[in-house]
Amino acid sequence: MHRYRTHTCGELGKENIDQTVKISGWINSVRDHGGILFIDLRDHYGLTQIVIDPSQPFYKGVEHWRVESTVCFIGKVVSRIPEAVNSKLATGEIEVVAEEMELLGEAAVIPFQVAKDEECNETLRLEYRFLDLRRQSLHNNIILRSKVISRMRELMTGLGFMEIQTPILTNSSPEGARDYLVPSRVHPGKFYALPQAPQQFKQLLMTSGFDRYFQIAPCFRDEDARADRSPGEFYQLDMEMAFATQDDVFEVNEEVLYKLFTEFSDKQVDKPPFLRLPFLEAMEKYGSDKPDLRNPLIMQDATELFRDCDFKAFAGVVASGGVVKTIAAKGCAGKSRKFFDDMIKFAQSVGAKGLGYLRWIDGEVQSPIAKFLSDETLAQIKELGGVGDGDVMFFIADKLKGANEIGAAVRDELGQRLELIDPDVFKFCWIVDFPMYELDDEGKVEFSHNPFSMPQGGMKDIEEKAPLDILAFQYDIVCNGTELSSGAVRNHNPELMVKAFDIAGYDQSVVEAKFPALHRAFQYGAPPHAGIAPGVDRIVMLLADEPNIREVIAFPMNQRAQDLLMGAPGNVEHNQLRDLHLKLNLPKKAEKEETVEAE
């Protein structure tokens, strides 16, 4: 007989009756009737009921049948009497009558309940993550994550992709987020950086003749957390394809994502090909480059209708170069005064000066602003929105950028409040045709996304078009308003690369200095190539229907990028610093803490 078990806690059934078995697990719950004791024994696979008769010598030997202790039982599998069958349990037709017992690991009093589904302070959960991970919902999320990643590998390998590891200790990249740095002992004053993504390595693999690369790649970025962004590190299904076009990348990803989402969720999934939405159209209609297409509301431009109207607040915005955006919402004219007041408050909370609206009720327009608008204008507005009796149109007046941002937020809020968002579907779309360049706050031309993207018109466009009019073969994949990834057809032509950087104000020496590997590699016959890297954590988050990314990561850091279980980041010994040729220069506040800890 095995040292710990002949069966798991999830597999015994009627067919095992009369067998003597050995099972080990955690005490999930104890029901002590004085004359008889029931224990639900739990492991990764399930629950099995153990019955202990008080005549057994170990019955009194155990002082506390404390939950979450690990125990091993030898006993006989017996059939439960019909009235005692538990249909909620896979093993509910049988129970194990204990004959021998061994305590494997006693549990102290636990800080929060494991067996019961009870909300709990997240700091405590992170400090006791090993307990939290025993709990069903988190445990299941990690199982799901494992299955999803395993399936990703199968699907990618099946499509002819090879998984290749790339370095974790690499060089700092000049673009993008702040890097995590690792000081070099051998080279005083020099640093490795953890990769923000294996971007340059995968492009080098393409120039090395590997046709299709993928990797479940760890990425490290020193940026602040969000609900859908874990600080420090995250994983991408990183991929790159040689001699490939944008359509080739779309085809692969549509197949992989469609299969993953249909296999691991019961929700209805968009069938490929997914909708392709040009960036400009997305901004016009949704005010966002990651629209939630479950929400049917769209924004329209009503700027011209307000240009010469008597409503000075709007006319003034238009006169100064701003826009008026409108969202038509069907059937909500009957909503309460509070609904509209709340919407105005909400709009103000996201930076709007106000939120105008027109309501059509019983053939009449009701609105604080209607009196400023002529009948003709009102008719034109009505036609623009395609609205009638019972409908409402909301209006946002601001500079274009502000109006889009506020409009996007109002659209989301209306979608939720009016319950327009179907929770049981996954809506995918590609955002395509991103501009290659944009203006930064100081009015300087800079790359709007990836500097390695291929401009759509090639050398001709780069030389002839105004920088802001140049589009890139740059794309995002969006699902239910979550950006899963950016990708691009890469610029594999070193001359074109130098030109593209030149427009953003970097001369050739900068390209050579900052991206020496790619610049050199592309001199020796680079294949045209393209790729993308969908976020693994976000995919699992959507599949698990979790609003928070930490619920799909086994050991996440908190918002301040601390691992509360391991105590990272932590102090190191002075000799470690000395080996690395480092001296600390701490801000005043941290210096105090350092002194206290040293004492």
Partner RNA sequence: GGGGGUGUAGCUCAAUUGGUUAGAGCGCCAGCCUGUCACGCUGGAGGUUGCGAGUUCGAGUCUCGUCACUCUCGCCA
Output 255 or 446, the one with its CB closest to RNA.
446
- Counting DSSP H helices and E strands in the chain, the numbers are 19, 24
Q: Residue 417: left (phi > 0), alpha (psi -120 to 50), or beta?
A: alpha
Which residues in the 541-560 window bind RNA by CB under 7 A? 548, 550, 558-560
Can you list the alpha helix ranges (DSSP code H) found in 210-354?
Answer: 246-263, 279-286, 303-306, 312-319, 337-349
Distance in Å, CB of 490 to RNA, minimum: 11
Q: Which of 19, 62, 133, 176 binds RNA (CB under 7 A)?
A: 176
Please count the other Cβ atoms lying within 10 Å of the Cβ belonging to residue 193: 18
DSSP state at residue 218: E
CA–CA separation, 239 and 153 (whole Å) = 11
Phi, psi of 246 (to 5 degrees): -55, -40
Q: Does the protein bind RNA through residue 40 (CB under 7 A)?
A: yes
Residue 499 identity (one-letter amino acid): K
Q: Whose Cβ is closer to RNA: residue 385's or residue 535's?
A: 535
Could you tell me which of 487, 499, 492 has the C-alpha nearest to residue 459? 499
Decide: is 81 part of the binding site for RNA (CB under 7 A): yes
Minimum distance, C-beta of residue 221 to RNA, in the bound complex (Å): 5
* Distance separating alpha carbons of residues 194 and 178, to the nearest angstrom: 10
Place of tokens 């918002």: 559
**Span near RNA by CB under 7 A; candidates 62-70, 353-361, 415-423, 491-499:** 62-70
Q: Does 504 bind RNA (CB under 7 A)?
A: no
Is 80 an interacting residue with respect to RNA (CB under 7 A)? yes
Distance CA 24, CA 107 (A): 15
Nearer to RNA, 196 or 300 (CB): 196
**Residue of 4, 14, 36, 567 interacting with RNA (CB under 7 A):** 36
Sequence-separated (6 or more) residues with CB below 8 Å from residue 371: none
> Applying CB under 7 A, does 31 fall inside the site for RNA?
yes
CA distance 374 to 154: 63
Q: At 362, phi and psi to the nearest 5?
A: 50, 45
- Three-state SS string over 24-38 comes to EEEEEEEEECCCCEE
The answer to whether 230 touches 553, Cβ cutoff 8 Å, is yes
Residue 381 beta carbon to RNA: minimum distance, rounded to whole angstroms: 30
Please report how close the Cβ of residue 112 comes to RNA at its closest, in angstroms: 5
Exactly one of 18, 118, 419, 442 binds RNA (CB under 7 A); that residue is 118
Output 34 or 57, the one with its CB closest to RNA.
34
Q: What is the DSSP string of 50-63?
A: EEE-TTSHHHHH-S
Candidates 2, 15, 61, 109; binder of RNA (CB under 7 A) is: 109
Comparing CB distances to RNA, the nearer of 165 and 348 is: 348
* 110 is an interface residue for RNA by CB under 7 A: yes
Among 18, 119, 362, 375, binds RNA (CB under 7 A): 119
Q: Which parts of 188-207 interact with RNA (CB under 7 A)?
A: 196-197, 199
Instruction: Rank residues 326 and 448 by Cβ distance to RNA and give the closer one.
Output: 448
What is the closest distance, in whole angstroms, from the C-beta atom of residue 313 to RNA in the complex?
A: 24
For RNA, the closer of residues 100 and 175 by Cβ is 175
Least CB distance to RNA at residue 486 (A): 6
- Is 35 a binder of RNA (CB under 7 A)? yes
Burial zone of 360 (CB within 10 Å; 0-12 exposed, 13-18 middle, 19+ buried): buried
Q: Is residue 132 involved in binding RNA (CB under 7 A)?
A: no
Per rule CB under 7 A, is residue 566 in the interface with RNA?
no
Number of Cα atoms under 13 Å in the Cβ half of residue 578: 3
Work out whether 29 is an interface residue with RNA (CB under 7 A).
Answer: yes
Tokens 């680079």 — which residue?
Answer: 526
Alpha helical stretches, state H, 335-491: 337-349, 375-385, 400-417, 458-464
Q: Which of 145, 449, 492, 538 binds RNA (CB under 7 A)?
A: 449
Give yes or no for residue 353 binding RNA (CB under 7 A): no
Among 3, 15, 18, 83, binds RNA (CB under 7 A): 83
Considering the rule CB under 7 A, would residue 227 count as an interface residue with RNA?
yes
Q: Please, what sign has the CA dihedral across residues 191, 197, 200, 201?
A: positive
Q: Does the bond joining 435 to the residue before it have cis omega, within 30 degrees of 0?
A: no
- Count residues near RNA (CB under 7 A): 68
Question: What is the amino acid identity at position 246?
Answer: Q
Least spacing, CB of residue 402 vs RNA, in Å = 11
Among 13, 92, 183, 272, contact with RNA (rule: CB under 7 A): 92
Residues that bind RNA (CB under 7 A): 29-36, 38, 40, 49, 51, 63-64, 66-67, 80-81, 83-86, 88-89, 92, 95, 109-113, 115-116, 118-124, 173, 175-178, 196-197, 199, 221, 223-229, 447-451, 486, 548, 550, 558-560, 562
